[in-house]
Structure 1
């Protein structure tokens, strides 16, 4: 599915009046995970800045034990500290990688900002080596901008 088609669907899901923000984010995760061949797991983590931890709030894909991640640990934890996108073409090449599944080959994490503060992130695992492009990054930045509006 094209990113333009997905934008329309994401906009519709986030505008649904009778669902909670968490339900909307779960619906977005499910849409992305089922619509993009290289998006095998999609989740939103949110920061607890006092505890310096990330907490999984919504996801689609296989269950994960990684529902709480300390800042600085793994790709997600590094993005919580750096406030920058992190694209990992080959997870085996990363020393500070937290393996969620042996099938995961690549990962992309894009921070989610609200009023200029990094409050969370979207995390996508792929079972395909090096699948993410700058187009994925721009699209996921847009998704996070739209999600921030409902929070």
Structure 2
């Protein structure tokens, strides 16, 4: 399924007010993991109150021990500080990488902004080397913009 075909489904999940926010976020994770072959772990991290750390939100994929990530640590922690997209074609080439699974080869993290503040991010791991393109980035920015509307 193409990203353009997924967009209306993302919008539909986000606008389903019968579901609580976490269930909608989980629905997004399930949709992406099931329909994008190189998305093997899809999850959300959010700023943990006033602490300089991220807390794991809804996700789909292998269980992770990384439920709390300090700002600046790993790819997710770096995005929390930089406020920039981070595409990692080869995780083994990153010094500041937190390994969740030996099968992960690449990662993409896109921040979520609410009223100009970085309040969280979508994090995607891939077991495929260098799978992410600018199309992935644009699509995930679309997802994050939509998610921001319900946070």
Scaled by the length of structure 1, the TM-score of the pair is 0.98
Counterparts of 1:27 and 1:11 in 2: how far apart (Å)?
11
2:124 is equivalent to residue 124 of structure 1: yes
Gaps of 5+ in 2: none
2:144 is equivalent to residue 144 of structure 1: yes
Partner of 2:45: 45
| 1:53-132 pair list within 5 angstroms | 53-132=53-132
Q: How many residues align?
A: 151
Scaled by the length of structure 2, the TM-score of the pair is 0.98
Q: CA deviation at 1:49?
A: 5.7
Q: CA RMSD in A?
A: 0.7
Counterparts of 1:54 and 1:95 in 2: how far apart (Å)?
20
Counterparts of 1:141 and 1:104 in 2: how far apart (Å)?
22
User: 3-state SS of the aligned residue for 1:150?
Assistant: coil
2:29 is equivalent to residue 26 of structure 1: no
Gaps of 5+ in 1: none
